[in-house]
Amino acid sequence: MYAAENATIRGDVTYREGDGMPIRIPEGPVELIHADDSVTLSWKEADEPAAGLAAIPRDQFERHVQEGQIEIEAG
């Protein structure tokens, strides 16, 4: 595992639970935890009691960053 970093979702970013339909990650702040083959995103929605958590493949994450849908905070 690597250190966590912060980012902001600024577009249509989705993940899947198993073989289910894509689930949209809400726009706003997220925390990122990088692994060798994936990135885990966690977020908190104001009207939800629990935090959201999703892992997406690294290539999908990098595409979202390149397309401006995920904006990583400069640190």
- Reported pTM: 0.88
Question: Could you tell me what percent of the chain has a pLDDT over 70?
Answer: 96
pLDDT at 59: 97
58 and 39 Cβ atoms separated by less than 8 Å: yes
Structure tokens, 2: 């690597």
Distance CA 4, CA 25 (A): 18
User: What does the pLDDT average to over 12-37?
Assistant: 94
Amino acid letter, 6 = N
Phi-psi region of 28 (alpha: psi -120 to 50; beta: other; left: phi over 0): left
Domain that holds residue 62: 4-72
**Number of domains observed in the structure of the chain:** 1
